[in-house]
Amino acid sequence: MEVLKADILILGAGGAGLFAALHAYDRNPRLKVVVATKGLIGKGGCSRMVQGGLNVVLNEKDSLENHFQDTLKGGGFINNQELAWTLVSDAPKAVHELEVKVGCFFDRGEDGKIHQKPFAGQSFDRTVHVADLTGIQLISRMTDQIYARNIQVLEETRGLDLLSSKDGHRIVGALLSDIRTGEIFVVNAKVTIVATGGCASMYKISAPSFDKTGDGMAICFRAGAEFVDMEMVQFHPTGLVAGRSRLNGSLLEEGLRGSGARLYNGLGERFMERYDPVRLERSTRDRVARSSFMEIMAGRGTENNAVYLDASHLGAEFVEQKFPGMVERVKDIGKDLAREKVEVTPTAHYQMGGVRIDTHCQSNLKGLLVCGEDAGGVHGANRLGGNGICDSTVYGRRAGDVAAALASEEDIHPYQETEAERMRMGWLRPFLRESGENVYEIRDEIEDLMWEKAGLLRTGNKLTEAAERLDYFLEKIDSANVAHRYLAHYNMEWNNIIDVTNLITVCRMVVNSARCREESRGAHYREDFPETDNEKWLINIYQTKGEGFHLNLTQKPVALNRFRRDDIEDRFFEKVKKK
């Protein structure tokens, strides 16, 4: 195998990965920084798809404490409070740097100051944006800055597994695959940053880009990383209903509801009056998504098992001016967002759970930093809209700074060559089989299973069924074959086998953790345990890889180092009640 040496290897080129690369290089330009991305730099990933914007305290009438409280309240108070505080306190610095250094200029108000719009679940309008196409601006400008530096980019290159040092005490790079040629090779690095994004595509209706299949999480899991609160998967309330089109499940951004767009069921009722009569459509994502799903399940949805989003009363000129990207997206399916109601459905969107990290993005594995959606703990049980790209930029910056400091101090450690060869041969096994399971059928079954058994409404029995089926799918995918056995370059069937292997790995963690948490909190709703139980379940659930198929699971009380239990109960907490 070819071996490439690097000081810092970054897997992923979304907001977190790109900002990490820029900060690492600028901290020490003598370091060799290598970025590997599954797609094309600046064109793939979820950060580019961000519509709404980034939450940040800029207005003197707002405060870091308010943003922090909103983040904890939205997260059901199981957030890692130090991570959440770092998020809100670093956000102003990140936004300043994005404008002054990266060249991403946010929309201005009439007073010339950065405009901040309303988003759901927040006590102040603090979301900065570039119309409703913020992600394109962020990623485009970051990509420009990458090209302006001596940073090596490996496009259409995916991570397969992390590599250990010969003494087994640290991560020293990764095994990668060039999708274009099929070649498997090694990047031996002092520090490795994983920032590949989440795995919401495990559900049949989902919003992420198609390259997001939980690769980073699965890679970290196989290497022995510890995960936290993997049961917490967010469903966005307003995924576009577009039949068999690839637009099905794509987002209509939260700013629409923040600006006053309303939700109606198939009977014409403004149903959020039943579920959150105070905040209505500006309630948190978990509650709005679950309410929509309950309406559909109760038979009050549309003919397409959806609900309606109506922004027409806001005025066509306003909608077209403020939400041009959404207007164009809806126009692609023959509808007019500015003048008529549009069918929407909850869509799997984001994972709050992920690799356990500290405020320096360090995992439990030496030499491995994790940031962005691969990391858990920042958002608790539910992420506020606008806190996602905030997370990517804040912790991407931190990961880059920490990686540069570590790489400047460390010597490069050799990897275990026998381990790398064993991994390589394992990934090549599908080419050696003359027949086997069909990977596309397996993926369809997994997406249906997760939607029906481990989606918005869960029960212990459903989750047990899901766990048993996932073990079965893990065996099936291990016997999948590649039809074009002698064609490795751009072999999408082989890459789908890798994708589904990683999907199953993440699905099993989600289901295992969801079975454990016998209460409802944030995005996790158990029909058999519909109440939130602070006495028993104000805890975090941790997982690591065990022997064979086994998953090691432990529970620890949430560290209430900034908000005490009395503060939560008396001042801020709202119990989840079965409707």
Q: Given its phi and psi angles, is residue 545 left (phi above 0), alpha (psi -120 to 50 degrees) or beta?
A: beta
Angle ∠(478,482,483) on CA atoms, nearest 5: 140
Examine the residue annotation and report whether 285 is marked as an active-site residue of this protein: no
Beta-bridged to residue 370, according to DSSP, are 194
Which run of H or of E encompasses 321? helix 316-322
Instruction: Tell me the chain's radius of gyration from C-alpha atoms.
Output: 23
Give residues with Cβ within 8 angstroms of 214, minimum separation 6.
198, 199, 201, 202, 502, 503, 505, 506
Tokens of 219: 């890679």
Integer Cα distance of 293 and 345 in angstroms: 8
Examine the residue annotation and report whether 236 is marked as an active-site residue of this protein: yes
Which run of H or of E encompasses 309? strand 307-310
DSSP reduced 3-state for 39? coil
Helix, strand, coil % over all residues of the chain, rounded to 5: 40, 20, 40
Indicate which residue of 23, 67, 158, 257 is catalytic. 257
- Residues 131 and 107: beta-carbon distance below 8 Å: yes
- Residues 177 and 160: beta-carbon distance below 8 Å: yes
Q: Could you give the dihedral angle defined by the CA atoms of residues 36, 37, 41 and 42, in that order, rounded to the nearest 10 degrees?
A: -130
Q: How far is CA 548 from the centre of its chain?
A: 27
Q: How far is CA 435 from CA 429, 486, 487, 521, in A?
A: 12, 14, 16, 45
Indicate which residue of 67, 141, 236, 383 is catalytic. 236
Cα torsion 551, 510, 391, 27: sign: positive
DSSP reduced 3-state for 11? strand
- Give the number of other CB atoms < 10 A from CB of residue 488: 19
Give residues with Cβ within 8 angstroms of 196, minimum separation 6.
11, 12, 14, 17, 38, 159, 212, 215, 216, 217, 219, 374
Integer Cα distance of 513 and 507 in angstroms: 10
Integer Cα distance of 193 and 20 in angstroms: 8
- Residues 191 and 370: beta-carbon distance below 8 Å: no
Integer Cα distance of 380 and 166 in angstroms: 36
Integer Cα distance of 396 and 138 in angstroms: 13
Known catalytic residues are 236, 257
